[in-house]
Structure formats: C-alpha cells, structure tokens
Structure 1
Amino acid sequence: MTTPLLVTSEGGVTWLRFNRPDRLNAIDQALAEAMRDAVAGLGADPGLRCVVLAGEGRAFMAGGDVTAFQGEGKEGRITAILDPMHEAVEALGALPVPVLASVQGAAAGAGMSIALGADLCIAAEEARFTLAYGRLGTVPDCGGTYALARLLGLQRAMGIALLGESLTAAEAQALGLVNRVVPGAALAAETEKLARQLAAGPREAQGQVKALLRGAAGRDLHGQLAAEREAFLACARTPDFTEGVAAFLGRRAPRFGG
C-alpha cells in the first residue's frame, strides 16, 4: 500500500509531502489521519526549525477526494476526513517554527486553504489557486475562510470565496497570498533554499513572531504591546539573542543555533 504522506527530515527541516499523485493528492481518510499524526509528533522535536508542505506529482493538492462525498453514510466519511485535517491545520498554526507551503500545479479547495494557512508560500509560475467549493454546494474547510479574511479583508475574501475564480500564481502574489513565484523547474531548489534560510534563523524569535502575528487580530493595542514585551524578554534569555547582539556589535553575520 502506498504511503499517503511522505515525511523526511534533515538539518532541522521536515518535509511533509502529500503522496496521492494519481488523485492529484486529493485528501482521503488515510491522508488526513497521516497528516494529523505527523504534525502531532513535530511539536516535541527540539531540533525542528522549519516545516515544508509539498505535493508529489503535478499538483500541490486538488482538495478533498470527492468520491467519499456521495451516497449513504457520506456525513461519516466526510467527518473522518475533516476532523483529522482540521486537527493538523490547527497544530501547524501552533508550531513554534515557520511552515512553508511549496505549490506546483493545482492548489484547489482544501489545497488552497492549506497553502494560504501556511506562514509562507512559494509557488511555481504555472500554479493555480481556486477554492472551488461553490461547485460542490458547500463551504471552504481546512481554515480557508480564516486565512482569506485575515490576508485580504472581508470584501476581497468574499469575492474569491463566492465567485470561485481561479488565480494564477502571479495574481495570488499580487493579492498578497503568495510570497514568491519562481519558474516551475526551480521550485524544488528555491523551496529548499528558503527552508534552509528559515532553519538558520533564531528559533525562539521566529516562533514568537509567528505567535504574535497570528494572535494580533484577537488583541487590542494594549494587549499586543504586552504580548510583544513578554516575547521580547523571552527572546532575550536565549543564546540566539546573545549571539545576535554580539554579531551586530561586531559587524558580522550571526550564527544562530540555540
């Protein structure tokens, strides 16, 4: 039986590769459960510095496997996919390291939701983003509405969600949904380069930045300033902070590793 999710780790970077290329990596129960279990185990790894989400074959992910969405008992089958995937999405957001989505081909439905829910997104020029839920008569899942509203604001998010229009990688970048667009042939190498850059950064500071930005919408200015103060002091206690200050004063590049 083919493993629905390929998990590899090297140099502090863990790759989670959706591995149902014959189905454009559409999510079935096995893939959903594999994602939940893999992500749940990442938080306990002190050496983890970056997570990369990618898809095998010619697509990032074509949403959920629609073959499970029909016939008697469909609600149970849908729940068996949604629940573990939602656990995985929430756990990825809570990880204290950056999560990078590397997108080629189609990022449709849940694939678009997952890509936009990552902390950073790099895409091949030929990548296409579409929610496409309206065609099925349902709503976005895997955090799609959460990510769109935060990234675009209400009106633009409504337009993309309700009209279901496909976005090119360039259009997604212009809207602020994608950080970088690269030629398809260079996607793997550029993703690796960006992941290594993130992995070489100050782990505690990156985790605190991620938490501050993700939590900002739920706090007023006073609360955000208090959170920033607490995070700054937490960083000041780390070897990376000591190294960063010394490197700055010594006019050299920092060598983080704490």
Structure 2
Amino acid sequence: MSSADEPVLLTERSGSVLTLTLNRPHRKNAVTRELWAALRDVFRQVTYGNDVRAVILTGAGGSFCSGADISDAAGVDEFPDPSKEMLAINEAVQQLHDLPVPTLAKVRGVAAGAGLNLALGCDLVVATPDARFCEIFTRRALSLDCGGSWLLPKLVGLQQAKRLAMLAEMIGAEEARSLGLVTWVKPDEAIDGFADELAAGLAAGPPKALAQTKSLLNDGTDRTMREALAGEARAQAINLSGADVIEAFAAFAEKRAPVFTGAWGTGG
C-alpha cells in the first residue's frame, strides 16, 4: 500500500521510454484531482520535450484504475464546481490524446469508468487475462466522460458502445479484445517484458513519421476523403523535411537497421 508521503504518480525512464504508474493502490488507483494534475504536468513535459519517444501508462498494486475517486470531495459543502472540475480533467485527457509519441496502456486488474477511458485514450492496450473493463458511469447515475463518448463508438461501433455504456457491464479481457478495446492479451508473467519490448521498438522508430501517422489516424474517422488526403500531403511534407527519411533510404541501400533521431534535415 502506498503511504501519504508517496507520489500519486510514479515516473520511470528506460532509455527513451517513459513509464507512468498510477500510485494509489489502496484505492485501486482511483483518480483524484491531485492525480489528474500530476498527469497533466507530465503530459505537458512530454509534449514539449524531445527525448521521450514512447509512454507506458499502468497502475500499481495489481489494478489499472477503478475510475474517479468519489471520496475526493470531503463533503457536500466542499463539492467542486462540476464545470470547472471537468475542464481540469478534460485538459489531461486531451493532452494524452494529443501526445506526439506512441502510448501503451498496460492493464492488470480493473479498468473502470475514467480508468477505462484513460486506457482507451492510449494508442495501444495490452492486458492480462484477469483484467476487467467497465464503463461504470450509469451505475453512479452519471454519463460517459474522459473521452468515452468519442472513443467507444470508434473502437467497437455504435451499438456495442451503447451496450457497454448503458448497461455498465463488467467484461473480461478476451471479450474486450474481441470487441476492439484491447490490442493484446498476455499472461501476467509476460506482460511487463512484452510492454517494455514493444515500447522500446516504438521508441526506436522515426518520431516525426510516427507522430504524423498517429495524428492522421486520430483525425481520419471524422474527415472526408478529400480532407484526409490533404492532411496526408501535409504530413509527408513534414516527414520529407527530416533527416530520418535520408537515414531510412541509406539503411535500405546499405542493408542495415536504420537509426532514427527525429532530427531535421534535407529530405528528398
């Protein structure tokens, strides 16, 4: 169990990979205002920094995140202004969505409500067989937040999204994978190594091309073909202005693995 003196968010660097661990295991990592603020601060650093090239998001103590901590407000008289509260939460959720680096959610145990939507806000999700997922909001007389209303229909289709959101069913990892909420299911003893290897591989990729690819895919479902083609053209112009294109072609010609840096250079 974490103590009051421990940070609510743990950060660990391994090369260019940053692992973020929600650290409130005594509450199954339920999110508080303090934890949202910590996430916002780190996401901002990743966005404007240039040395982190992949992010893993996970939870401490065998759970990913049980949702918002409804005990965070001391009492009715101290309950925060909902509109202001949601603005602060939405800032963190939007920053996660907009991160210019690949993100991977590593899920053990429960991912519910805000916790599930934090996982779905990552580009990829890997879970253990015992992981459980629930859009729990209607059980609390609430509607979807943390991006769930945008993410769910795109991942599972409108009808399944309505099922998950309206019934607030708890589903297992294999069903979540079959629906498209989870990318891989890995044994508990293998998930850490799998996530680390995957993140390291993503971090070794061409950062500008990965950032442009992520942005195009995130925006593509809301665009016409004409808009998508225009976006792709702008993205390729950015890619062709970087040194990684030169490196990729040189590595191909020399029959070696490329070393991508994300540096600007003269492409062609």
TM-score between both structures, scaled by the size of structure 2: 0.91
2:149 maps to 1:126: no
For 2:208, the equivalent position in structure 1 comes to 204
Partner of 1:177: 181
Aligned residues: 258
CA drift of 1:156 comes to 1.3
Query: What are the ranges of 5 or more consecutive residues in structure 1 without an aligned counterpart?
Result: none
CA drift of 1:130 comes to: 0.6
Is 1:255 the counterpart of 2:259 in the alignment?
yes
8 Å contact from structure 2 (residues 73, 80) kept in 1: no
Among candidates 161, 181, 184, match of residue 165 of structure 2: 161
Q: In the aligned structure 1, how far is the partner of 2:259 from the partner of 2:40? A: 33
CA RMSD for the aligned pairs?
Answer: 1.7
Q: Which residue of the other structure, out of 19, 28, 34, is the alignment partner of 2:32?
A: 28
State whether residues 33 and 72 of structure 2, in contact with CA within 8 Å, keep that contact through their aligned partners in structure 1.
no
Q: Judge conservation of contact 1:9–1:15 (CA < 8 Å) in 2.
A: yes
* d(CA) in 1 for partners of 2:153, 2:230: 25
Which AA in structure 1 matches 2:23?
N
Does the Cα contact within 8 Å between 1:69 and 1:78 map onto a contact in 2? Answer: no
Residue matched to 2:8: 4
**Alignment partner of 1:229: what SS?**
helix
Identity score, percent: 39
Q: What residue is the counterpart of 2:20 in the other structure?
A: 16
Aligned to 1:233: 237
For residues 86-115 of structure 1, what are the alpha-carbon distances to aligned partners after superposition, in whole Å with 9 as ceiling and x for unaligned?
211101111111111110000011111111
Aligned mates of 1:40, 1:129 — CA distance in 2: 28
**Secondary structure of the residue that 1:76 maps to in structure 2?**
coil
Q: CA deviation at 1:132?
A: 1.1
> Is the partner of 1:126 in helix, strand or coil?
coil
Shift of 1:10: 2.7
Q: Which runs of 5+ in 2 are unaligned?
A: 263-268
Once the two structures are TM-superposed, the CA of residue 12 in structure 1 deviates from its matched residue by: 1.2
Deviation at 1:79, TM superposition (A): 5.7
2:198 corresponds, among 194, 198, 210, to 194
Shift of 1:81: 5.2
Q: Does 1:138 align with 2:139?
A: no
- The answer to whether the 8 Å contact 2:19/2:58 transfers is yes
The answer to whether the Cα contact below 8 Å between 1:27 and 1:81 also exists between their aligned partners in 2 is no
TM-score for both structures, normalised by structure 1:
0.94
1-side partners of 2:16 and 2:32: how far apart?
29
The residue matched to 1:254 in structure 2 has which SS?
Answer: coil
